[in-house]
Amino acid sequence: MKQHNVRHELVTDHVLLMGIVNVTPDSFSDGGTFMGPGAAIDHARQLALEGADIIDIGGESTRPGAQLVSVDEEMSRVIPVIEGLKGEISAKISIDTRKAEVMRAAIKAGADIINDVTALKYDKDSLDVAASSHCPVILMHGLTEQGGDPKTMQDNPVYEDVVSEVCESLRRNIMDCEQAGIAKSRLIIDPGIGFGKTADHNIELLANLDRFHELGLPLLIGASRKGFIGLLGGESDAMKRAPGSIAAALFAVSQGARILRVHDVKKTHQALSVWRALDEAKAQLTAF
Ligand code: 8Y7
């Protein structure tokens, strides 16, 4: 496994699983399943039991074409869930939001990690909120260049060199964070699979994860149930994409990813345990 040149607060040398809890009526993969805080809390508890190290709670769908949600609506979805989980599970809680006010309230309610699909760019106050917290921050490459709008991000994403451009964008995000007083040891990077990217872009990014290690930070990958998995695996139903999602997850780990954002925690956990045992056995052999 690769060493990172920043000693990180959150990430040790085992791969962390982040389980997804959507508290939205329109999420593409489990739309309408979670009707209130009770169901979302139960689902989060279940994911924690199944081996999730982090529970990612989101109240605004950022899938392509999703409707925007007001701050009040988003808060009313996620805050009761965070309050209900705090102290009840040992998994860390991450808040998936691009709104500073939601971040602030979520942290107050007990969220441990900020997960922002715009790398703290959507809301001008987010850098300050993150700086004045002590939370690790996930900087995802995504909607920023498209003006932060999930409605249009997939319209016609164009890159000359997707890997270099995503890498450079994250490098600037890291610098902005450091300038705002967020220590590098609090940052996690994510190329943002599926955000303003075609299937070919996603494949190119995953095949070049090496390049992101230059940034010297732990890498998170979220490929779970996304469109390119359906395309590659020939499965139009997002709920049936666990096998393809696990293949992408294990591939990402083999390329040095340290955190996996997944829907299917139990299945991914099993796959990862087997993969890790074999990988460690091989490392023993080659060590002598
Ligand atoms: C990601 C994410 C989503 C991702 C990070 C979906 C909130 C779309 N994808 N956060 N969020 N990375 N960090 O399909 O890839 O789950 S939402």
How many angstroms separate the alpha carbon of residue 284 from the centre of ligand 1? 35
Q: Give the residue among 173, 195, 191, 192 at the shortest CA–CA distance from 182.
A: 173
**Contact 93/85 with Cβ under 8 angstroms?**
yes
CATH code given to domain 16-286: 3.20.20.20
Q: What does each of the 288 residues of the chain score in pLDDT, given as a tens digit?
A: 444 456 676 766 789 999 999 998 755 445 455 467 899 999 999 999 999 999 999 999 876 667 789 999 999 999 999 999 999 999 999 999 999 999 999 999 999 999 999 999 999 999 999 999 999 999 999 966 555 577 777 777 889 999 999 999 999 999 999 999 999 999 999 999 999 999 999 999 999 999 999 999 999 999 999 999 999 999 999 999 999 999 999 999 999 999 999 999 999 999 999 999 999 999 888 876
How many angstroms separate the alpha carbon of residue 72 from the centre of ligand 1? 22
Tokens of 28: 């593409």
- Residue 54 sits at φ, ψ, to 5 deg, of -135, 140
CA separation for the pair 47, 39 (Å, rounded): 12
Report the SS3 class of residue 266.
helix
Q: Is the dihedral of CA 56, 264, 10, 116 positive or negative?
A: negative
Could you identify the residue written with the tokens 């705002």?
A: 180
**Nearest atom, ligand 1, residue 222 CA:** 15
> Which of the listed residues 117, 189, 217 should we mutate to test ligand 1's pocket, taking the one with most ligand atoms within 8 A of CB?
117
Cβ–ligand 1 distance for 209 under 6 Å, the answer no
CA separation for the pair 275, 269 (Å, rounded): 10
> Which of the listed residues 56, 62, 98, 121 should we mutate to test ligand 1's pocket, taking the one with most ligand atoms within 8 A of CB?
62
- Residue 219 sits at φ, ψ, to 5 deg, of -110, 130
